[in-house]
Amino acid sequence: MKRYFKLYLAFVRNCVVREMEFKAHFIAWVLVNVSWLAFTLIFFKILYLNTQTIAGWKPDEMIVFLGVVYILEFFVWTVLYPNMASLPRYINRGELDFILMKPVDAQFFVSARRVSPHNMFSLVIALILLGVGIKQTGLTITLIKTIPFLVLIFGATLACYSVWFMTVTTAFWFGRLGNVQEVFASIWQFARFPREVFKGALRFLLTFVFPVAVATTFPAKLIMGRLDFISALFLLLFSFLLLFASRLFWHLALKRYSSAGG
């Protein structure tokens, strides 16, 4: 386990150093991140000019929600996306064979090798948004309260990773599609709004199939003190179930891949 952690640090260092070599590049991307934040805030400002609440969320509460969204965005685009986008390439270019020969678990390598520092600044933005939102809503945050929050964030990222990895594993069958990783990436757009906005079958889909809505909404509700224990437990247990499922599916895909002589 420790070995994998050290390996991961090496991956991160390798990717980050490569990106940071060019200061202008780094600064340009910080500006891009900030610009998209401004875009998002302008959008919500326009919405709130025309309504008191959005699905029961007041403006100050929405800032807290956005803070949680940005934490997840950091994980989605910095930690997960570069790897998800690489798997179809590994498969199509035969690079997967070299990866399978390495003395490391293949699913770990494929999932963790790349880090995209472009969106690292999202984490800073997240903390600022959370700080401002919590202050404005007058919530009190104690150290004890942050532990369940971090646990839920962990569960949320695990759930997103697992489902995303499963959709990308289909590249073994639909390899010709170079953009199979975009399915989950596009569905992620639903996560940028509270789950209460979406109703009916869509809400079911976004909770139990592609749990992106619970990934952002549940941790945010936890901060607000509005999350019941059952929901929190659900997210955690479901995320482990999904991880297990992703591993099963991965092994299934690999078996088929090797038996085809590949």
Partner 1 sequence: MKKYLALFRISWQNALEYRAESALWIILDLIPLVVVFFLWTTIYADKQEIKGFTLPVLVTYYIIISILANFVEVYFDLWLTDEIREGKIVNFLLRPIDFFRTIFILESAGKLLRTILFLPVLFLIFFLFKSYLVGPQNFWSLVIVFLVLALGYLMFVFVSFLISFAAFWMAESKSLIHAKWIISGLFSGSLVPLAFLPVFMQKIAILLPFRYLYDFPASIYLGKIDGKGIFMGIMIEGIWILALWIVAKKVWQKGIRKFSAVGG
Q: Which amino acid is at 135?
A: K
Map the footprint of partner 1 across residues 131-190, applying CB under 8 A.
176-180, 182-183, 186-187, 189-190
Q: Which of 36, 154, 249, 257 binds partner 1 (CB under 8 A)?
A: 36
Binding to partner 1 by residue 34, rule CB under 8 A? no
- Our CB check for partner 1 shows the closer of 77 and 109 to be 77
Binding to partner 1 by residue 199, rule CB under 8 A? yes
Pick the stretch among 34-42, 67-75, 126-134, 222-230 that binds partner 1 (CB under 8 A).
Answer: 34-42
Q: Which of 9, 10, 32, 150 binds partner 1 (CB under 8 A)?
A: 32
Binding to partner 1 by residue 205, rule CB under 8 A? no
- Our CB check for partner 1 shows the closer of 114 and 195 to be 195
Pick the stretch among 37-45, 151-159, 227-235, 244-252 that binds partner 1 (CB under 8 A).
Answer: 37-45
For the chain, the C-alpha Rg in angstroms (whole number) is 19
- Our CB check for partner 1 shows the closer of 50 and 140 to be 50
Task: Annotate the chain with three-state secondary structure.
Answer: CHHHHHHHHHHHHHHHHHHHCCHHHHHHHHHHHHHHHHHHHHHHHHHHHCCCCECCECHHHHHHHHHHHHHHHHHHHHHHHHHHHHHHHHHHCCHHHHHHHCCCCHHHHHHHCCCCHHHCHHHHHHHHHHHHHHHHHCCCCCHHHHHHHHHHHHHHHHHHHHHHHHHHHHHHCCCCCCCCCHHHHHHHHHHHCCHHHCCHHHHHHHHHHCCHHHHHHHHHHHHHCCCCHHHHHHHHHHHHHHHHHHHHHHHHHHHHHHHCCC
- Our CB check for partner 1 shows the closer of 43 and 108 to be 43
Q: Under rule CB under 8 A, how many of the chain's residues touch partner 1?
A: 38
* Least spacing, CB of residue 239 vs partner 1, in Å: 23
| End-to-end Cα, the chain, rounded Å | 29
- Our CB check for partner 1 shows the closer of 155 and 194 to be 194
Place of tokens 């390798």: 14
* Least spacing, CB of residue 21 vs partner 1, in Å: 12
Q: Which of 9, 17, 20, 31 binds partner 1 (CB under 8 A)?
A: 31
* Least spacing, CB of residue 84 vs partner 1, in Å: 14
- Our CB check for partner 1 shows the closer of 203 and 247 to be 203
C-beta of residue 157 within 8 angstroms of C-beta of residue 14:
no
CA distance 127 to 40: 16
Q: Which amino acid is at 159?
A: A
Q: Which of 43, 208, 240, 244 binds partner 1 (CB under 8 A)?
A: 43
* Residues at the interface with partner 1 (CB under 8 A): 22, 24-25, 28-29, 31-32, 35-36, 38-39, 42-43, 46-47, 49-51, 54-55, 176-180, 182-183, 186-187, 189-190, 192-193, 196-199, 202
